[in-house]
């Protein structure tokens, strides 16, 4: 770990809370058996932890029955299940240019291999989707609207409640990618008229990688697109229709689920999602205020930080994003994410494809004001390097000062 300043929490939160490591280790030592497959005590106790996690997550997402929280590998896996299940028999989909490839690629394959038409709604100059644009894009054959709640590139949070009402009024399935918001910004199934929330465990839910899931409202039926063992009614030839088995096949990642239980406890100890979000946004504001008036730095779609998650994308004049990342890493021990962030349509719309995307800063609960001040210092140093390079055009590339 050393003196690394980690500002790549949108990729995965790190470090994890100590209690997550400790609980996962203790759980696996004591109850590392297959839950729900046998009637002996340890199997039943493992299943109790799984049910506890379902109960806590469905409460977090404002749903009903814990059985309607199902587990997967990650958000990409969950989004694939929802997209393919809802569009199994065809139909039109509406999405946005803010989406991650976990939405874009499944829709692309369905569009080009099975003929499912897709409409992509662009974001406005502030980085937001106008709900009326969603409304106007819905057609008679529209079966799915799927929207990224919080952008992993520019950090804007969409008006999910307004979009949900439109979809409910039109009878269209509404799915939300909550990869960046689950655990920090409220996402409520019933309150916001959401049919399915897809989440990953390794970001702001503070679990490990390899665990994610889908929480659905009680009325929702998503066609199962994978089939196999459930430990229940094994003689039945078809996969079970009831939740949670409907969207789960095979042995669950019980270690990951245990990590999510501990992650939820950590969130509660910190005062809940709102308290964590408030702290992280205060640090992001410190970064934003420290660079917003610096000539040579471009900040994307952040004229203010209202309706934002703690994510900020920038570029430095005269550099490709990768080279700025090298300056921050090699000279300042700061970890950021450079590139396209698996969200190419965002960069296409912003015009940042030719310079390799942006430099993304994403704040987590273990960051400090000192970390932010160091990041400001690093960006200003990169600006100065850009000025020097402009005066010495024969000098190519970047060499660390170390």
Closest CA to 355 of 382, 322, 325, 398: 322
- Residues recognised as catalytic: 342
Give the distance from CA 89 to its chain's centroid: 28
For 133, counting Cβ atoms within 10 Å of its Cβ (0-12 exposed, 13-18 middle, 19+ buried), the class is middle
Cis peptide bond upstream of 104, omega within 30: no
Closest CA to 361 of 218, 155, 203: 155
Buried b (16+ CB within 10 A) or exposed e, 88-107: beebbbbbbbbbbbbbbbbb
Looking at residue 152, the DSSP 8-state letter turns out to be T
Beta bridge partners of 157: 150
Name the CA dihedral angle for 196, 198, 201, 202, rounded to a multiple of 10 degrees. Answer: -160
Residues 313/359, Cβ–Cβ less than 8 Å: yes
Helical (H) or strand (E) element with 311: strand 311-316
DSSP output for 372-397: HHHHHHHHHHHHHHHHHHHH-TT--S
Measured CA to CA in angstroms, residue 169 lies from 130, 137, 172, 205, 219 at distances of 17, 14, 8, 31, 15
Residues 374/356, Cβ–Cβ less than 8 Å: no
């Amino acid at each position: 770990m050393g003196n690394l300043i980690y500002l790549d929490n949108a990729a995965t939160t790190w470090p994890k809370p100590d209690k997550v490591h400790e609980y996962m280790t203790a759980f696996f030592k004591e109850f590392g058996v297959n839950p729900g497959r046998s009637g002996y005590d340890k199997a039943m106790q493992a299943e109790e932890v799984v049910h506890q996690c379902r109960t806590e997550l469905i409460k977090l997402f404002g749903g009903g029955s814990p059985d309607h929280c199902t587990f997967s590998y990650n958000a990409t896996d969950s989004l694939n299940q929802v997209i393919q299940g809802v569009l199994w028999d065809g139909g039109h989909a509406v999405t946005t240019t803010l989406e991650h490839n976990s939405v874009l690629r499944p829709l692309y394959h369905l569009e080009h291999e099975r003929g499912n038409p897709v409409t992509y709604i662009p974001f406005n100059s502030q980085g937001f989707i106008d709900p009326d644009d969603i409304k106007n894009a819905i057609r008679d054959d529209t079966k799915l609207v799927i929207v990224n709640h919080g952008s992993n590139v520019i950090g804007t949070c969409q008006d999910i409640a307004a979009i949900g009402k439109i979809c409910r009024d039109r009878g269209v399935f509404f799915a939300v990618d909550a990869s960046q918001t689950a655990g920090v910004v409220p996402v409520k199934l019933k309150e916001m008229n959401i049919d399915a929330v897809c989440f990953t465990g390794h970001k702001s839910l503070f679990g490990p990688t390899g665990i994610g899931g889908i929480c659905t409202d009680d009325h929702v039926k998503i066609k199962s697109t994978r089939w196999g063992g459930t430990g229940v009614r094994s003689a039945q030839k078809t996969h079970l229709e009831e939740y949670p088995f409907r969207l789960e096949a095979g042995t669950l990642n019980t270690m990951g689920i245990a990590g999510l239980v501990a992650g939820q406890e950590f969130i509660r100890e910190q005062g809940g999602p709102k308290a964590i979000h408030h702290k992280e946004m205060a640090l992001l504001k410190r970064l934003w205020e420290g660079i917003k008036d610096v000539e040579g730095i471009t900040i994307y779609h952040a004229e203010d930080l209202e309706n934002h998650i703690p994510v900020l994308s920038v570029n430095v004049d005269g550099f490709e994003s990768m080279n700025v990342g090298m300056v921050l890493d090699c000279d300042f021990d700061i970890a950021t994410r450079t590139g396209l962030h698996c969200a190419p349509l965002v960069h296409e719309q912003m015009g940042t494809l030719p310079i390799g995307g942006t430099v993304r800063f994403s704040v987590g609960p273990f960051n400090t004001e000192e970390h932010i001040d160091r990041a400001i210092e690093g960006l200003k140093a990169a600006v100065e390097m850009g000025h020097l390079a402009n005066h010495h055009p024969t000098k190519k590339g970047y060499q660390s000062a170390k």
